[in-house]
């Protein structure tokens, strides 16, 4: 892959200032102070919130504690989506810090998956990486890796170790020059205006004529409504890692540099905020 290490670093070390507040319906023995944390965009809520849990458990009775879950302005936050995706999708136009409400009761089974331990996060993460490599290399790269290599990817994410993660992940980003890119681009498109969890279909990084496909080409095929037509006011923002990339950016470059650690390019489409 092209060595744009500064981009990879900026993506990895992206943080969201967050204020966690205990839901007012929770029974506490004394007042619960809010808890502030810089959340890593590329990680998962259930992986980085042990301190939040410990903080609030200090003021609660053990009998009143069930599985912890999070909510933002009435929307339960899906822990299996990366933190940056949750923020870009639900809160990108809000004033920081991001205000998240913490619950220990009434787990919303219909909206959220249970996450009893970090091994559940690991299984989800590795499953995404395997799916992404099936799209990129017919699973050849991930299958050639040993169990300890898979563990290195996971430990790199879990312990926030950029070099440890990328020493292994760079293998998943390689391709031969004659191929000119991956077999297919692993992507997921999220929309607040759509009931579907996300859009994910097969899409090649290069056209049949050999031209590189761009972000514009992907959107034109997958959700043309997100694009601004001539003479029209812009209605939607197309956001990856908190920024709006140029629509003419080649998809292959985006996939190599702006994918999350799970190797998917997560794209959020949200309405432009009205003033």
Residues 188 and 222 in one domain: yes
* Same domain assignment for residues 190 and 152: no
Residue 2, pLDDT score: 47
- Count of domains forming the chain: 3
Q: State how far Cα 145 lies from the chain centre.
A: 24
* Spatial separation of the C-alpha atoms in residues 265 and 187, rounded to whole Å: 4
Residue 195 lies in a domain: yes
Encode pLDDT of 67-125 as tens digits.
999 999 999 999 999 999 999 999 988 889 999 999 998 899 888 899 888 889 999 99
Do residues 183 and 266 both lie within one domain?
Answer: yes
Strand-by-strand arrangement of the 15-22 sheet: 35-40, 15-22, 98-103, 69-72, 75-76
Domain assignment present for residue 163? The answer is: yes
- CA dist 262 and 129 (Å) reads 5
pLDDT at res. 203 = 93
CATH number, domain with residue 207: 3.10.20.90
Lowest mean pLDDT among 132-141, 225-234, 247-256: 225-234
Contacts 24+ apart (CB under 8 A), 3-7: 4/256, 4/257, 7/257, 7/258
pLDDT at 3: 56
> The tokens of 152 are what?
């290195």
Residue holding tokens 């794209």? 267
Residue finishing a domain among 132, 152, 174: 174
Identify whether 5 is part of a domain: no
CATH number at residue 148: 1.10.246.190
- Same domain membership, residue 269 and residue 217: yes
- pTM check: above 0.85: yes
The per-residue pLDDT of the chain, averaged, comes to 91
**Domain stop point among 81, 103, 125:** 103
- Residue 183 and residue 268 share a domain: yes
Boundaries of domain holding 57: 15-103
Kindly state whether residues 57 and 22 are assigned to the same domain: yes
**Counting Cβ atoms within 10 Å, is residue 140 exposed (0-12), middle (13-18) or buried (19+)?**
exposed
State the pLDDT at residue 275. Answer: 63
- 207-212, long-range: CB < 8 A, 24+ apart: 210/180, 212/180, 212/181, 212/250, 212/251, 212/252
Identify the domain boundary among 70, 103, 136. Answer: 103
Q: How far apart are CA 90 and CA 78, in angstroms?
A: 11
Q: What is the pLDDT of residues 162-187, one digit of tens each?
A: 999 999 999 999 987 777 789 999 99
Average pLDDT over residues 235-240: 92
Residues 215 and 262 in one domain: yes
The whole-angstrom separation of Cα 266 and Cα 29 is 41
Return the pLDDT at 1: 46
CATH number at residue 92: 3.10.20.620
Q: For residue 10, what pLDDT is reported? A: 92
As given in the structure block, the two tokens for residue 191 are: 């929309």
Strands (E), the chain: 15-22, 35-40, 69-72, 75-76, 98-103, 187-191, 236-239, 265-271
Residue 61 lies in a domain: yes
Backbone angles phi, psi at 179, to 5 degrees: -75, -30
Taking only Cα atoms into account, the Rg of the chain, rounded to an integer number of angstroms, comes to 20
Q: Kindly state whether residues 158 and 221 are assigned to the same domain.
A: no
Rounded Cα–Cα distance for residues 272 and 171 (Å) = 37
Residue 147 pLDDT > 80: yes
């Amino acid at each position: 892959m092209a060595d744009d290490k500064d981009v990879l670093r900026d993506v990895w070390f992206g943080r969201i200032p967050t204020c966690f507040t205990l839901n007012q319906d929770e029974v506490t023995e004394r007042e619960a102070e809010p808890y502030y944390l810089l959340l890593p965009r590329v990680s998962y809520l259930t992986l980085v919130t042990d301190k939040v849990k410990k903080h609030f458990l200090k003021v609660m009775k053990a009998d009143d504690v069930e599985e912890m879950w999070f909510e933002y302005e009435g929307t339960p936050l899906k822990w299996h989506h990366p933190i940056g995706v949750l923020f870009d999708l639900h809160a990108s136009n809000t004033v920081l810090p991001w205000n998240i409400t913490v619950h220990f009761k009434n787990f919303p089974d219909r909206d959220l998956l249970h996450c009893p331990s970090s091994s559940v996060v690991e299984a989800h993460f590795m499953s995404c990486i395997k799916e992404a490599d099936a799209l990129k290399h017919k699973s050849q790269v991930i299958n050639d890796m040993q169990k300890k290599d898979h563990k290195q990817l996971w430990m790199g994410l879990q312990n926030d170790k950029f070099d440890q993660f990328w020493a292994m992940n760079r293998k998943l980003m390689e391709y031969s020059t004659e191929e000119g890119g991956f077999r297919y681009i692993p992507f997921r498109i999220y929309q607040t205006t759509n009931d579907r969890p996300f859009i994910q279909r097969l899409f090649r990084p290069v056209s049949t004529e050999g031209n590189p496909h761009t972000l514009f080409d992907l959107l034109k095929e997958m959700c043309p409504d997100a694009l601004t037509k001539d003479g029209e006011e812009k209605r939607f923002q197309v956001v990856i890692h908190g920024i709006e990339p140029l629509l003419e950016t080649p998809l292959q470059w985006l996939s190599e540099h702006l994918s999350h650690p799970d190797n998917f390019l997560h794209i959020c489409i949200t309405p432009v905020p009205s003033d």
